[in-house]
């Protein structure tokens, strides 16, 4: 899936979850000064920012197929080496990085096993390959209430639960299939606070990702019904959403 949206729209919809997640993910991937690290599917830079803080910009490379996100990284981190590319065809030589990381990307890859294999190829032997994907099949992901409401109104709705790595255990299976060694799965959880129901709902109308695309193709009455159902299911404001991602790290 391509993300044809502005960095600002992405930030309002997903950045509020992916920024705190990036801190946890960088910690889990044991990112330390002196390493050279690749951010695969960098988006507007939630993980990139963490890597720059820990390593310095000149030790960070990033790729993404979305032109608006590549431009956003150029502007935000002029020293980061960012290119337009997909995980399945990484424009780097073998063994170039100490870490290759993909935060919230594997489920959007056309061929996730090929993408992870490429990440392993560009990582030096003994270096670490890491990825995380929200729990999009159970109750603990950030979009669980949204998709539950959509299902209540339309049992045939195509949600994100079938995407690669979205269900418990699947991300680790993909790592094994890509030939990675010492595969270690874990779960990362972040808590995000919302001041009001509108603060939570409005970003769904910005067209970001599969949830935004779903809202965008509804007619007005369908959208109102979905909003009402979400309002019934969400707690009274202010509230926190606890969001969990499956995370896997392994060695190249
Ligand atoms: C949910 S966003 C995650 C962005 C960022 N990593 C973050 O955590 O906020 C998914 C990103 O994956 C990118 N993407 C989609 N398909 C990809 C592929 N095959 N290889 C690399 N990136 C891809 C999209 O353009 C988008 O920026």
Query: Strands, E, within 17-159: which ranges?
Result: 37-40, 60-63, 81-83, 97-103, 123-134
Q: How far is the centre of ligand 1, averaged over its atoms, from the C-alpha of 62 (Å)?
A: 11
Global confidence as pTM: 0.97
What is the per-residue pLDDT across 51-61, written as a single tens digit (0 to 9) for each? 999 999 999 99
What is the per-residue pLDDT across 68-111, written as a single tens digit (0 to 9) for each? 999 999 999 999 999 999 999 999 999 999 999 999 999 999 99
Residue 14 Cβ < 6 Å to ligand 1: yes
What is the per-residue pLDDT across 217-230, written as a single tens digit (0 to 9) for each? 999 999 999 999 99
| 11, 16, 108: residue to mutate for ligand 1 pocket, most atoms within 8 A of CB | 108
In degrees, rounded to 5, the angle at the alpha carbon of residue 167 between the alpha carbons of residues 67 and 184 is: 90
Q: What is the CA radius of gyration of the chain?
A: 18
As beta bridge partners, residue 251 has 128, 181
Q: Which atom of ligand 1 is nearest to the CA of 3?
A: 25
């Amino acid at each position: 899936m391509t993300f044809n949206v502005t960095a600002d729209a992405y930030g309002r919809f997903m950045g509020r979850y992916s920024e705190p997640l990036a801190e946890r993910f960088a910690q889990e991937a044991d990112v330390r000064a002196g390493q050279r690290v690749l951010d695969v599917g960098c988006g507007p830079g939630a993980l990139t920012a963490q890597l720059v803080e820990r390593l310095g910009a000149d030790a960070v490379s990033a790729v993404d197929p979305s032109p608006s996100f590549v431009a956003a990284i150029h502007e935000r981190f002029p020293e980061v080496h960012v290119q337009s590319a997909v995980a399945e065809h990484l424009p780097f030589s073998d063994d170039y990085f100490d870490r290759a990381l993909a935060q919230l990307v594997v489920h959007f890859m056309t061929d996730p096993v090929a993408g992870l294999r490429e990440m392993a190829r560009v990582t030096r032997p003994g270096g670490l390959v890491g990825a995380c994907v929200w729990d999009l099949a159970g109750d603990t992901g950030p979009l669980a209430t949204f998709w539950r409401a959509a299902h209540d109104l339309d049992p045939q709705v195509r949600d994100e639960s079938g995407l690669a790595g979205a269900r418990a255990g699947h991300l680790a299976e993909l790592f094994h299939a890509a030939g990675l060694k010492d595969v270690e799965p874990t779960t990362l959880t972040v808590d995000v606070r919302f001041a009001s129901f509108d603060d939570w709902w409005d970003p769904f109308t910005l067209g970001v990702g599969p949830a935004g695309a779903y809202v965008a193709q509804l007619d007005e009455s369908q959208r109102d019904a979905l909003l009402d159902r979400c309002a019934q299911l969400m707690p009274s404001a202010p509230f926190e959403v606890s969001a969990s991602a499956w995370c896997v790290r392994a060695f190249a």
